[in-house]
Amino acid sequence: SPMDHPSAPDEQVEIAIVGGGIIGLVLTVGLLRVGAKVKVYEQAQGFREIGAGIAFTANAIRCMHLIDGGIPVALRSSGSVATSNGGEEDPNDYLRWIDGFDRKRGDEPRGQRLLYKLDAGYRGFEGCRRDQFLEALVKIVPPDVVELKKRLESITDGGGADEKLRLAFADGTTAEADIVIGCDGVKSRVRRILLGEDHPASRPSYTHCVAYRTLIPMERAVKALGRYKATNQHNHVGPGANLLHYPVAGNSMLNAVAFVRDRRRWPDERQTVAEGSKADVEAAFEGWCPAVRELIDLFPDTLTKWGIFDLWEYPVPRYHGRSICLAGDAAHASSPHHGAGACVGVEDALCLTTLVEAVVADMRGRPETKRAALDAALTTYDAVRRTRSQWVVNSSRRVCDLHQQREWADDDRLVKAETCFEEIRDRSLKIWHFEYEAMMDEALEGYKRRRRS
Ligand code: FAD
């Protein structure tokens, strides 16, 4: 018993998750299901802060199901809806790219042409409000698992084989765990602790793209765009910018995001939102087609400008240290052009849940194997997840470049510009058709191999 051997490791795997965002909570539900002891430390006061929307691919929802059957139930109970508006005759979801720039042959405006349409399948995307999904997730976690108002400051590793990590929080309290999983987002503190303050990947870098987002009442949007365009997802592409919109709130509102290339430096990296103006957006879309300009005319005079930061320039060289690892945006924050950043984090959560389940099985009746089992699991996690998740970061940048290529403004190079859709299709399918079962097999194989050697 532990009384006779005070230094004997305990039987359970104790995991601290830093950050109760989508990935932190999805992972928590999975790790609890497979028998780990979990605590989540979230700096915020609660989950009611961000009302923004988020959509998940059908593939990510299947991953959620494998993590724990309760997660897709929570997603749907939080009011998620398939994004399709095709009605009964066409229930699939599509991405559509449309020619947004007004090139002229002689004096005639060319009008807008649908450039490409990609079928994401039946219920290919399901959208929800972030805060509602987070609240629904918290409800399926036992009450004392999530601790709010806990901002992580440091982690100390004594280095002994059976020694726990010690986490210290801004409020002066501490906690212990066998491993820490940093799910603390793009500005991750855990990443800085893992890599060191001076490492270039300790801070995200500016993508030189900004986003202006607004909601427009559907009736007004219909006047600008026409009913079909307003009630179906469209991405207007053109030189130096693109305008994405889709209906939300049961078709009563249009969510519009203008992405604009910015050659300047971002003024203050600690503050990634700034006040923007409609005039800035109008300037970026000067010379675009009437529908786009009329929609932008409906933007409010002042609106938030989001600087988009990612880990493309300096990717994280490894997702784990001795007892620390990273998941979600903390590991691979991406720009939003694939709309799949959280989906890739859900894949991380499935991989970690699979590996921790193997660790728990391995340790049954022999707690002394804990350290070696956790080492094998974290090393395998890094090997399985790093390349794909970093590819998504790169691909998102590439897709932004293609959306905003100069050639869209040049009649003679329009055919050249359009060749990008073959590439965009391949990239999207690689995300949407992820072989998660093969990933789980690879993780278990890698774990077993490392445990044997
Ligand atoms: P976060 O959601 O950032 O959560 C991190 C959590 O950690 C936060 O709750 C934070 O308070 C907490 N935290 C931070 N530091 C500390 C600390 N020191 N101590 C304790 N807690 C801490 N992805 C999609 O799949 N589909 C989409 O449609 C989509 N749309 C997007 C649109 C935009 C405009 C953007 C910017 C991103 C979009 N994404 C989308 C990407 C998605 O938002 C992220 O990938 C996802 O939110 C990452 O989740 P996370 O849990 O890793 O990090």
* Residues 167, 155: Cα–Cα separation, whole Å: 5
How do residues 368-380 score in pLDDT, each as one tens digit?
999 999 999 999 9
H or E element in which residue 24 lies: helix 22-33
Better-scored residue on pLDDT, 147 or 90: 147
Mean pLDDT of 258-275: 93
Q: Given a cut of 60, is residue 157 above it in pLDDT?
A: yes
* Residues 305, 300: Cα–Cα separation, whole Å: 12
Could you tell me the pLDDT band of residue 414, with boundaries at 50, 70 and 90?
very high
Q: Is the CB of 321 under 6 A from ligand 1?
A: no
Q: Given a cut of 60, is residue 3 above it in pLDDT?
A: no
Q: What percent of the chain has pLDDT over 90?
A: 82
Per-residue pLDDT at 432 = 97
H or E element in which residue 55 lies: strand 53-57
User: What residues pair up with 277 in beta bridges, in sequence order?
Assistant: 302
Q: Is the CB of 341 under 6 A from ligand 1?
A: yes
Atom of ligand 1 nearest to the CA of 327: 52
Better-scored residue on pLDDT, 129 or 436: 436
Per-residue pLDDT at 109 = 62
Q: Is the CB of 62 under 6 A from ligand 1?
A: no
Atom 9 of ligand 1: nearest residue by CA position: 21
8 A C-beta contact, residue 100 and residue 242? yes
How do residues 69-106 score in pLDDT, each as one tens digit?
999 999 998 877 766 666 667 788 999 999 999 876 66
Q: What percent of the chain has pLDDT over 70?
A: 94
Per-residue pLDDT at 107 = 64
| 67 closest CA partner among 269, 327, 300, 276 | 327
Mean pLDDT of the chain: 93
Per-residue pLDDT at 106 = 62
Cα 95 to middle of ligand 1, angstroms: 23
Per-residue pLDDT at 4 = 44
Q: Is the CB of 21 under 6 A from ligand 1?
A: yes
Output phi, psi for 400, to 5 deg.
-60, -45
Atom 37 of ligand 1: nearest residue by CA position: 336
Cα dihedral 90, 434, 210, 275 sign: positive
Could you tell me the pLDDT band of residue 1, with boundaries at 50, 70 and 90?
very low
Which residue intervals of 208-340 are DSSP H helices? 218-225, 227-230, 278-284, 290-297, 329-332
CA distances for 305 relative to 18, 258, 299, 433, angstroms: 28, 10, 12, 33
* Tokens describing residue 256: 């519009």
How do residues 297-332 score in pLDDT, each as one tens digit?
999 999 999 999 999 999 999 999 999 999 999 999
Helix axes 341-363, 22-33, angle to 10 degrees: 20
Could you tell me the pLDDT band of residue 6, with boundaries at 50, 70 and 90?
very low
Atom 44 of ligand 1: nearest residue by CA position: 342
Q: Is the CB of 338 under 6 A from ligand 1?
A: no
Stated pTM of the model: 0.95
Catalytic residues: 213, 246
H or E element in which residue 422 lies: helix 420-432
Could you tell me the pLDDT band of residue 108, with boundaries at 50, 70 and 90?
low
* Residues 115, 96: Cα–Cα separation, whole Å: 8
How do residues 160-205 score in pLDDT, each as one tens digit?
877 899 999 999 999 999 999 999 999 999 999 999 999 999 999 9
How do residues 232-242 score in pLDDT, each as one tens digit?
999 999 999 99
Cα 22 to middle of ligand 1, angstroms: 7
CA distances for 116 relative to 208, 228, 246, 425, angstroms: 26, 16, 16, 9
Could you tell me the pLDDT band of residue 390, with boundaries at 50, 70 and 90?
very high
Return the ∠ at Cα 369 (arms to 366 and 374), rounded to 5°: 130
Q: Is the CB of 288 under 6 A from ligand 1?
A: no
Which residue intervals of 238-340 are DSSP H helices? 278-284, 290-297, 329-332
Per-residue pLDDT at 9 = 53
Beta strand ranges found along 262-333 (DSSP E):
273-277, 302-310, 324-326
Better-scored residue on pLDDT, 3 or 10: 10
Cα 315 to middle of ligand 1, angstroms: 17
* Residues 263, 282: Cα–Cα separation, whole Å: 17
Return the ∠ at Cα 61 (arms to 179 and 307), rounded to 5°: 75
Looking only at the bridges linking them, the beta strands covering 37-41 and 14-18 are: parallel
Could you tell me the pLDDT band of residue 2, with boundaries at 50, 70 and 90?
very low
268-272, 273-277, 330-334, 442-446: which range is least confident on average? 268-272
